[in-house]
Structures are given as structure tokens and as C-alpha cells.
Chain A
Amino acid sequence: MDEFEEILQDFLVESFELIEQLDQDLVELESRPDDLELLNRIFRVAHTIKGASSFLNFDVLTHLTHHMENLLNMARHGDLVIDADVMDVILESIDLMKALLVRIRDSGKDGGIEISACVERLDAVANGTALGETVPAPVDVAVPKAAPEPVIAVAIAEEEPDYSGMSEAEVEAEIERLIAVRQAEDAAKRAHKAPSAPVAEEEEPDYSGMSEAEVEAEIERLIAVRQAEDAAKRAQKSAEPEAPKTAPVSVSTPQTVPAPVKVASAPRKVEPKEEGESRGGATVEQTIRVDVKRLDHLMNLIGELVLGKNRLIKINDDVEERYEGEAFLEELNQVVSIVSLVTTDLQIAVMKTRMLPIGKVFNKFPRMIRDLSRELNKKIELEITGEETELDKSIVEEIGDPLVHIIRNSCDHGIETPDIRLAAGKEETGTIHLKAYHEGNHIVIQIIDDGKGLDADMLKQKSIEKGVVTEKEADAMSEKEAFGLIFRPGFSTASQVTSVSGRGVGMDVVKTNIEKLNGMIDIDSEVGKGTSMKLKIPLTLAIIQALLVGVQEEYYAIPLASVLETVRISKDEIYTVESRSVMRLRDEVLSLVHIGDIFEVERVFDNSEHAYVVVLGLAESKIGLIVDSLVGQEEIVIKSLGEYLKGIEGIAGATIRGDGGVTLIVDVAALMQMAKSVKSTVGQESAEAKGRSGVKNKPSDYTVMIVDDSKTDRTIMRKSLEPLGITLVEATDGVEALNVLKQGDYIFDAMLVDIEMPRMDGYSLAAEIKKYNKYKNLPLIAVTSRTGKADRMRGVESGMVEYITKPYSPEYLMNVVKRNIKFNEGL
């Protein structure tokens, strides 16, 4: 079988390659109908496919290609002129051939596609009949026409030695006839119809009522019949010069007589069905199977495109800022928005190609429920809604196991036995409702049972017994947290281990798998009424929405799917309970952790009295993550950190940002684990920061940077400030200034910035500097000859604190600088 499979694969690959070439050749042929080389090539394709398919027992395909071959052979020998009509028929047959090959690839069989009409047309063309007349019974056509065209018959006889000898033709006709008769009988048996002509005609109205198998059988029968008829016809035709022998053919195969008769009515009969078939055929051609690898590759490419788009948008923003009001901006804007729009659409389109209906997973549950209810002696009914809801293939694959565990759990622990249910005044039959629907960028799968519900106190008790939690912990738990206990490893409420449950593993698997998908679990339950479990899962995994947060000078991306909300709080709102930071969030107590503690970020300054808290929710747990700043929401493409850095705790991967930099993606599940063991340092950093800011003892402890491209200007500034005795550092443009700043050799107290400079101007420099939290409060003083109000406004926007216009007096400059660096205050 494997060997056959291998041959089949080779055959398919070869055939599809040939057909690809065929299409091009045929188009060429239409313009150069006399090109023998081309014709030979096309002929060989039909011949090759015919040979291979007959070897592989694809009778329908063999049959079709055989007739094509005939026709092409005639054209090759100059007995037939290829005109548009003939070409139509050839193309039609090639389309059919393709459809057959696709069918073979998909199902391993070549049935189910109606070819007799096409074969008839092929034959008709071969016989020189006008196309319009093909519908009437071909038998009448074949016999009279064959005589005036002995050339054709001879040509066929020469090419097909099989038919040149009468006996062989007879044998083949006989074989085909027998096959036809048997198939016809089979079909008839199934259809409870006798294979005779009048009955066949009576069959006509029944097609709509036929089952698929019946229709299939009927088609097969018709094909077989046609084959038999064709064979007989061929035999007749080749026998034409030897007229006496024609009779034996029909005599020795007496049943061929009814067969052609039956077939004569076949075309008419087939017509209504053909419509149905062609509809079926069309759907076959509208879907193609694509290797998942290709889709993955496509998805990767789209990922790159999304990154490029992000980058383009960023550049556009920068350019917009710098060249405000210029005419080309509008055009650029348009292009950027079109690219961004198309990229988004493309992304959605590709994502959709990866979507599968969740029904694929749901389908196995009815059977499971039936088995389980018998095993547990319960009466359980499963209701499924929303099985057509689609989600990413990779998620469909991952979601199966968790659902199995949840449903088993519902059956085992949720639904009560019939007598208990009756005693409780419920219906005897318990119901489990499986529901799937979209909610924003998520799919929600809900499993609702009307069983006994979860008892928070009982859960706590059991957990303490099993040593999952301590008594103290249990006391502090809210109802929801108690429900969450069922997901703890080692937890089980079943008093004994059964084959269905009780090992305390299943629900733990659920949680791990859902977390892996960045999903959330929400449990609602009422004792005696039932339990509802809600799984909220993002639609796709490769490209996600993320919240970008900043801590000191670092940025991290948090999957938005895990972000419940963000709040800005004052530091007074953070309380410490048993060396853990917590805050009140409405009526909940939320434990807090600083992102800097998780990721070992060195905290050199404390910027404000306020903090941002990102409330993270994953599966059923929640935590507040303190960050320094919220940057915004962005679409990110998840990239792996590679073999060398894989498995770093708390990091799920990396993404490339619009500016080309790498930003790490937070693994929320791991972060929550880490948060448990991290000692809180929230609120401690301010003391440290104060110590670091440095004490100024002498004037030279103050450092000011002068950024100007003109040597003269720099000298003027230097001369003006030298009397103060402070340290002065010079830079010739924005880029250099930024480098000096980054090197960190000096701690600057202020910067004097010229606006018009090569490479990077003053506004851009200011904007760049302000990106660093460290320099947020560094006073930037613009020194420029631009005096317009708009310029001043831009200066303020980009973060300049003072705006000195050239020319200025040395005293004025000195005073401004003194004021900004708080000169003398510390001395």
C-alpha cells in the first residue's frame, strides 16, 4: 500500500507539472494551430497521463484521457483542424482532467465527476460532427459518419493497435460491457431500479431525493455504460472496412444493444443532474489544499510587513513633525495610510486562511458525552452552539485537550445522578451547553452545566486537606479565588480516583494550556444551580496587540490579551502587607509587583509621585504590574529569542519595533509566578535616587553642554559662561550631542541647544533626549536666531525650557543658565 501511495504521489506531482505546461502550450496552440512540435507535446501529456492512470486503475481518468488522446492524435496527423470550437472542447476536457486529478489527490478516487458529456463532445469533434448536435444519441452519429471518414478509422487503427485487431476490440468491449453491466446492476440494486431504459427515464425526478452514495453510484453506472458504448462504437468503427465482422460484435455482446439505447437517453437524463454536479464541481475547484508550512511562511512574511509598516508610520510621524506644512507631506501621508490599510487587510486575509471552525473540536464531544454518561450512570445531554466560529489552526489544535478535561469534569463532578437531580427538583437529564462566539479579538468558549455547582467552602477545605494551600491562605480567599483552586496541581474533589477523574491533573492541564494560548479562564458558579466556565482566547498567536510599557530606559511589550486595565495611582495608595505591596482596586485588593524587580532593572531615578499599574489577568489570577510609563498600544510580531537565549523566565519572545530596536515581550504567566518570589522594593527607590543625584560642592561640579554647529557661536557661549567656573562640554550637532549624552562620561545639569544644525536639528535632539526617562528633567535651553512665534511654540513642544534669541548679552545667558542649573543653591 505504501509503495502504491508513493507511486500515486509521483503520478500526481508529475501530472500537475504536465498540466501546468499544458495550459501554456494550449494557449500557444490556439495562435499557431499548425505547430506540430506543440501538438506532439500536448499529445504526449494526454498519453502519459492516460498510461499512468490506467496503471493505477483510475478508470474515469483513463477513459477521459483516452478520448483526448484520440482527438489530439487526429490533429497531429492533420486529420482535424484545431479551431476555436475544437479548442473549447479540448480545454473543457483538460479542466475535467484537472478536476479528476485534484479529486484523486484529495480522496484517492477518481469518481464523482461527470465526464461522459465531455467525452461525447470529444468524440463528436473527432468524428467531425458539429458541436451543437452532440446532445442527440451519439450512436446514430457514429455509425453513418464513420463510413465516409475511413481515414479517421485508419488513423485510430494505426495508433491504437488494441483496436486494430477485431478480437482484441471484442475482448475489451466485452470486458467493459461486463463492468458496465455489473456497475449498473450495483447502482440499480442500491437505487432499487432495474437497469433498463424506461426505468432509467423514470428515475429522472428522483435525483434530488437520492442520497450522495446513490448519486455517486448512478454516475458511475452512467460512466460505465458510456465506456461500454464507446468501446462498442470504437470496435464498430475500426471494423468498418470489414463490415461482416460488425455484426458479430453486436451479436456476441447482445446486451450492448440495450446499453447504447439507455445511453442515448443518458445525455438528456444527465442534464439536470449535471447542474447539480457542476455546482458540486465548482465548490471542489474553489478550495485548494495548501501545506500549512506555506501558510506559516506567508504569516511570517506578513509579520515582516507589519514591522515595516510600523516603522513607516513612525518615520512618517517624524517627517511630519519636522517638515510641518510642506506640500509633499500630504502625499506621503496618503501613501503611508494606504500601505498601512492594505497591510492590515492582508494580515486579516492571511489570518483568515488559517482559520478553522471550532466545530472540528466540538464534533468529538457528543460521542464522549454519550460514553461518559453511560459509564457514570447519569443522563447528560450536550448542546452545542456556535460550532461555525472560526479560529486559528494552531489554537484549534491546542484547545482540544483542555475542553476534554473541562467536559469530563462537568460530567463527573458537575452533573448529579438522576435520583439526586430529581430529589433536588431538577430535570432528570442534566445539560452541558458548549458555546463558542467571538468577542472582539477573542473567541470565547463557554461550558455551562446545570449541575451541583462549586462550593467555595468545600473547595477550600479540600485544598487544605490535600496541602495545596494553607489554612491562612484559604481564609483570605474570595469566592472566585476559591473556584480557581480547582486549577491547582494536585487538587481533586473526587474522593476516589476513577477512570474519569480524581488524579488532580486534568484541570491543571487546562490552566497550563490556556495560559500557553494567552487565554483567560473565568468561572462562575452557584451551588445547586450549575457552573459556567468561560475560556477567552486570542484569535491568533503570531501577530498580537501589545501594550508597550517603559521602565527606566527599557521598554517591554505586554500581550494586550492579558491586560485587563491600566490605572494611574499615587504612591500613597500602595500599602505594604507582609512585605508585599498591594493596592485597593475598587472593592478588590490587588497585589503589586514592580516590573523593575522582575526584570532586574537598575533604578537610578524616581520620576514622580505617581505610578502606573497595569492590571494583568491570566486564566483566573490577577496581578498589578507597576511600570514607569505607558507608551501605547501596538501591533507586534512575536519573534523567538533563538536557541541561545530560549527559556528565559518571564520573557516570551521579542519583537522589532518601528525604530528597528528590539523590545522584549513579557510572558505574563511566568511573570505571575516570579512575582510570588520577588521581594518588593516599591517605594524604596526614592531614597536611593536621592543619594545618587550627587552633591555639588564647587562650581566645576556643574556641567553644561553646548550644542552648536558654528564654532563662533560655541566660543561666544563658552566665553559668556566661563566666569561661572562650571564645566563646559561642546558638541557640533544633535547626533554628536546625543552620543556624548549616551556615553555617560558627564552628568549634565543643562544643555544649550542651537536649533539649526546639520544631521540632527535642535527640535529632534530635544525630542530624542526626552525619550530617555533619565533626562526627562534635564533643562534644555534653545539658543537660536529663529525668533518666530511658531519656532518658540515648537521649542516648547519639543521640551525646551527656555528660548534665548541671538544676539544676547553674556550676562543674560549666564543668568538663564544659573537659574536652570540652580547654581549656588547647593553651595
Chain B
Amino acid sequence: MSEKLQQIINKQHRALSGDDTKIDEVIQLVGFIVGDEEFSVPILSIQEIIKPISWTRVPQTPAYILGVFNLRGSVIPLIDLRSRFGLETMKHTEETRFIVMKNGDDVAGFVIDRLTEAIRLPKRDVGPAPDTINEAESMIDGVGKQADRIITILKVGKLLERNF
């Protein structure tokens, strides 16, 4: 009887620890489209996603900084990811969204073309950024491989870093 019990306990234990490692290895991302490519950022770095609202231009800033907008009483910078990535700017559509990302105290809104989905990706499917990209300057954290596509994972810290 006790042997049997022990077996069950062991089994449960194995199952539990097995689960644990599984959870550890999965990263959750939110995917979105900018231009023709799909990008993603870790879900925990996203404060919220809102539909486009009006913003105010701020002078003396690079073109990719659209300005600032009011998010429930806080003034938050708005960055156009298309022009940040050197793509041509486009009129906002029904699918355009502002993703408000945070990293510590830094918060900014990013304009993206459209959202795709929340992605659960096993860590082993995430490869490093291509070697050709300068590590320090790169905004890419890694590349996630899925059956039918690859997803670029962005460094939120880098996105929120002021570079002008």
C-alpha cells in the first residue's frame, strides 16, 4: 500500500516538475505587423493597447516621434514604428493601434499597423538575432521560429531608449 502511495507521489512529483520546466521555457509575446514584417514584444512589457487618439506634435524631435498624447492624465510620447524602422509612413487605418510599452519608469506609445495575436513560444524556438546586426545598436532581441513563419522579438528597453 505504502509502496503504491509512494509511486503515486513520485508520479505526481514528476508530473509537477515536468510542468514547471515547461512553463519556464515558454515565453508569451504579442505579435503585430509593421510594414510587411511581423514583430513581437514580451506581453509583460505592454501596459495597454489602445485605438488611435489625437496627439500633439512636439517640435525639435526626429520625425519618428509623432508627439505626445494624453493617457488618462499622463503625457506620453508617441513613436511611429514605421518611420522608426525607416519605412514610409502610412495613414492610420481602422486596424492601427497604439501599443503602450513600459520598461521600468519609461513609458511610450508605439504606432503599429495592426495586431496579430498573443503568441506562446517555447524558448528553444527562439534563436539569436542575425550576426550581421551590431549587437549594441540592435533593437532585436531574438528571432522566434514557428512552423510557418518567423517573428522578430524586439528589445523593449532599446525601443524606449532616447537616441537623439
Contact = CB atoms under 8 A, between A and B. Distances in A.
B107 A642 contact: yes
A663 B56 contact: yes
A649 B58 CA distance: 10
A648 B61 contact: yes
Interface string B21-63: 0000000000000000000000000000000001111111100
B77 A662 contact: no
A679 to B, nearest CB: 16
A144 B57 CA distance: 88
A645 B91 contact: no
A600 interface: yes
B162 interface: yes
B126 interface: no
Contacts of A645: 58, 61, 65, 68, 77, 162
A743 B68 contact: no
Q: Which of B57, B59, B67, B106 has the most CB of A within 10 A?
A: B59
Contact of B76 (A304, A642, A663, A743): A642
Interface string A643-655: 1110011110010
Nearest to B108: A644
B95 to A, nearest CB: 15
A534 interface: no
B75 A656 contact: yes
Contacts of A660: 70
Contacts of A664: 56, 58-59, 68
A357 to B, nearest CB: 33
Nearest to A595: B59
B131 interface: no
Interface in A660-686: 660-664
A548 to B, nearest CB: 13
Contacts of A601: 59
Nearest to B59: A599
Contacts of A354: none
B162 A643 contact: yes
Contacts of B107: 642
B68 A649 contact: no
A641 B55 CA distance: 13
A648 B60 contact: yes
Contacts of B77: 641-642, 644-645
Contact of B162 (A304, A639, A644): A644
A94 B108 CA distance: 53
A663 B105 CA distance: 22
Interface in A41-89: none
A644 B75 CA distance: 11
A439 interface: no
A307 B56 CA distance: 17
Interface in B108-123: 108
A737 to B, nearest CB: 17
B162 A554 contact: no
A307 B59 CA distance: 24
A122 to B, nearest CB: 53
B58 A304 contact: no
Nearest to B74: A639
Contact of A662 (B59, B65, B75): B75
Interface string A395-422: 0000000000000000000000000000
A351 B160 CA distance: 35
Given A643-B105, A644-B106, A661 B56 contact: yes
Contacts of A662: 55-56, 67-70, 75
Contacts of A307: 73
Contacts of B61: 645, 648
A178 to B, nearest CB: 61
A311 to B, nearest CB: 11
B56 A654 contact: yes
Given A645-B61, A645-B68, A304 B56 contact: no
Interface residues of A, number: 26
B55 to A, nearest CB: 7
Contact of A640 (B55, B56, B75, B91): B75
B54 to A, nearest CB: 6
A639 B59 contact: no
A290 B112 CA distance: 46
Nearest to B79: A644
A499 B71 CA distance: 53
Contacts of A304: 73
Nearest to A662: B56
A650 B60 CA distance: 9
Nearest to B92: A743
A516 B58 CA distance: 21
A407 B105 CA distance: 42
Contacts of B56: 554, 654, 661-664
A653 to B, nearest CB: 8
A304 B75 CA distance: 12
A661 B65 contact: no
Interface in A433-491: none
Contacts of B162: 643-645
Given A648-B59, A648-B60, A651-B59, A661 B105 contact: no
Interface string B150-162: 0000000000101
Contacts of A649: 60
B81 to A, nearest CB: 15
A589 to B, nearest CB: 28
Contacts of B67: 662
Given A642-B75, A645-B77, A662-B68, A554 B54 contact: no
Q: Which of B58, B61, B75, B76 has the most CB of A within 10 A?
A: B75
Contacts of A651: 58-60
A760 to B, nearest CB: 16
B164 to A, nearest CB: 10
Given A304-B73, A307-B73, A643 B58 contact: no
A797 B105 CA distance: 47
B73 A654 contact: no
A291 to B, nearest CB: 22
Contacts of A639: 74-75
A460 to B, nearest CB: 34
A643 B61 CA distance: 14
Contacts of B76: 642
A641 B58 contact: yes
Q: Which of A598, A643, A644, A660 has the most CB of B within 10 A?
A: A644
Contacts of A661: 54, 56, 70
Nearest to A303: B73
A654 to B, nearest CB: 5
B91 A654 contact: no
A662 B65 CA distance: 15
Interface string A537-559: 00000000000000000100000
Nearest to A554: B57
Nearest to A656: B70
Contacts of A743: 91
A612 B53 CA distance: 31
Interface string B129-141: 0000000000000
A643 B75 CA distance: 11
Contact of A641 (B54, B73, B75, B106): B75
A654 B60 contact: no
Contacts of A599: 59-60
28 contacts: A307-B73, A554-B56, A599-B59, A600-B59, A600-B60, A639-B75, A641-B58, A641-B68, A641-B75, A642-B107, A644-B77, A644-B162, A645-B61, A645-B65, A648-B59, A650-B59, A651-B58, A654-B75, A656-B73, A656-B75, A661-B54, A661-B70, A662-B55, A662-B67, A662-B68, A662-B75, A664-B58, A664-B68
Interface of B: 54-61, 65, 67-70, 73-77, 91, 105-108, 160, 162
Given A645-B65, A648-B60, A662-B69, 4 more contacts: A307-B73, A554-B57, A643-B162, A664-B59
* Closest A-B pairs by Cβ, 7 of them: A599-B59, A662-B56, A654-B75, A644-B77, A600-B59, A639-B75, A662-B70
